[in-house]
Amino acid sequence: MNTFTFFRLNDFLSILQKYWLHLLTILVIAFALSWFFTGPHFLQPWYKSTAIVYPVNLSPYSTETPTEQLLQLLESDDLKDTLISHFKLMEHYKVDTTLPFAHAVVFNKLKKKLTISNTRFESVYIQVLDKNPEYACMMINDLIDQLNLKIRNIYRKQFDEVYTIVKNQMDLKKSELDSLDMRLNDLTVDYELFDVPAQANEVVRGYLGTVDGSNGEVINHENVAKFMQNIIYFGSEHVRTSGYAYNSRNEYLNLKNQFENVQKEITKELSYVNIINSPKVPLLPAYNLRLYIMLFTNVGVLFIAFLLFSFLEVLKLKKGVKHSAAEIRETLPVL
């Protein structure tokens, strides 16, 4: 067994007893330096804010589930651009705005700090990391607000097209109905036609003199003949126009109902996510990087210091062994 192995096995505690004050001094100095150089001026902690949301009021699209739709919308570049603008992330992330690719740089930084994923319960998990805890919370809230606004705008754009189509159809039908009503009014005013079947029945009775009671004796045959002519020449037109007007009015009312429903869809203010876990301002860093750095630094410095002191003891031990061997040789008789 060599000297170093013998030393390691037998003198470990003796080194600690001999150099404990030195080791303690080195540990205190290392702790103070690591505490200083891992402070906020050199190593700023990251804070994490999270939220869990569930999709609601989303219309089915193809074979996608509402959760997949929500994930796709949250991953859109429009929402990220809005966050960059609202929170001035160019300045917040300290990106040089004079660079031609500055927007791409801040965009990639945001993508690394924004985590969006689905959970096993078909909800969506949102996480934001930031050096400012309030920023982390506010960015999630703003992301959810912008998500609602984006979905609302998408639906409104779809209904805007339907709105235009139904509005044009309703205007055409209204114009047609007005024309029919105007013609019916003319027939009523000019030819005294308003209920042709009933009037035709009375005219026939008057013409044939089959009116019951005393009225049969005072029949105005001239007026009966006039009504007869009006019914003959304009009665069928009045009946036909009345039928067209009736059908047209029903179609107009149906279009009006559709139009009002579309208006409701355009103007309604719905939320498209239910917030299960609301984002909160984090009080503690997401991960205590400072603690880990200080721990490994101090342990490493202490270990290196112990190795150095051990090496010094080895050198002293070897030197002492050589000196003892020389003294032994001097005492031996010369043959």
**CB 199: neighbour CB atoms within 10 A?**
17
3-state secondary structure of 273: strand
Given 277, 306, 329, the domain boundary residue is 277
- What is the DSSP secondary-structure string of 106-158? HHHHHHHHEEEEE-TTS-EEEEEEESSHHHHHHHHHHHHHHHHHHHHHHHHHH
Clarify whether residues 215 and 230 are in a common domain: yes
| Inside any domain, residue 38 | no
| Inside any domain, residue 31 | no
pLDDT tens-place string over residues 116-125:
998 888 889 9
Cα–Cα distance measured from residue 144 to residue 138, given in angstroms and rounded to the nearest whole number? 10
Closest CA to 113 of 86, 92, 85: 92
Residue 230 exposure: Cα atoms within 13 Å on the Cβ side: 22
Angle at which helix 77-86 crosses helix 133-191, to 10 degrees, equals: 110
Output the pLDDT for position 2.
47
Clarify whether residues 127 and 184 are in a common domain: no
| Inside any domain, residue 132 | yes
Cα–Cα distance measured from residue 70 to residue 119, given in angstroms and rounded to the nearest whole number? 12
Average pLDDT of every residue of the chain: 78
The CATH number covering residue 73 comes to 3.30.70.1130
| Inside any domain, residue 244 | yes
**CB 3: neighbour CB atoms within 10 A?**
11
Cα–Cα distance measured from residue 101 to residue 103, given in angstroms and rounded to the nearest whole number? 6
Given 277, 305, 323, the domain boundary residue is 277
Clarify whether residues 94 and 125 are in a common domain: yes
Cα–Cα distance measured from residue 249 to residue 176, given in angstroms and rounded to the nearest whole number? 9
Q: How many domains does the chain have?
A: 2
Closest CA to 46 of 109, 102, 103, 104: 109
Regions of the chain where pLDDT drops below 50:
1-6, 9, 213-214, 325, 332, 334-335
Note down the domain range covering 226: 165-267
| Inside any domain, residue 309 | no
Cα–Cα distance measured from residue 76 to residue 151, given in angstroms and rounded to the nearest whole number? 12
Output the pLDDT for position 125.
94
pTM for the whole structure: 0.63
Clarify whether residues 150 and 186 are in a common domain: no
Q: In what order do the strands lie in the sheet with 47-55?
A: 114-118, 124-130, 47-55, 273-277
Given 277, 296, 327, the domain boundary residue is 277
Clarify whether residues 215 and 235 are in a common domain: yes
| Inside any domain, residue 17 | no
| Inside any domain, residue 180 | yes
**CB 235: neighbour CB atoms within 10 A?**
21
Clarify whether residues 169 and 154 are in a common domain: no
Clarify whether residues 61 and 144 are in a common domain: yes
Q: Among the residues of the chain, which ranges form H helices?
A: 3-10, 12-37, 66-74, 77-86, 89-92, 102-113, 133-191, 196-208, 221-230, 236-267, 289-331
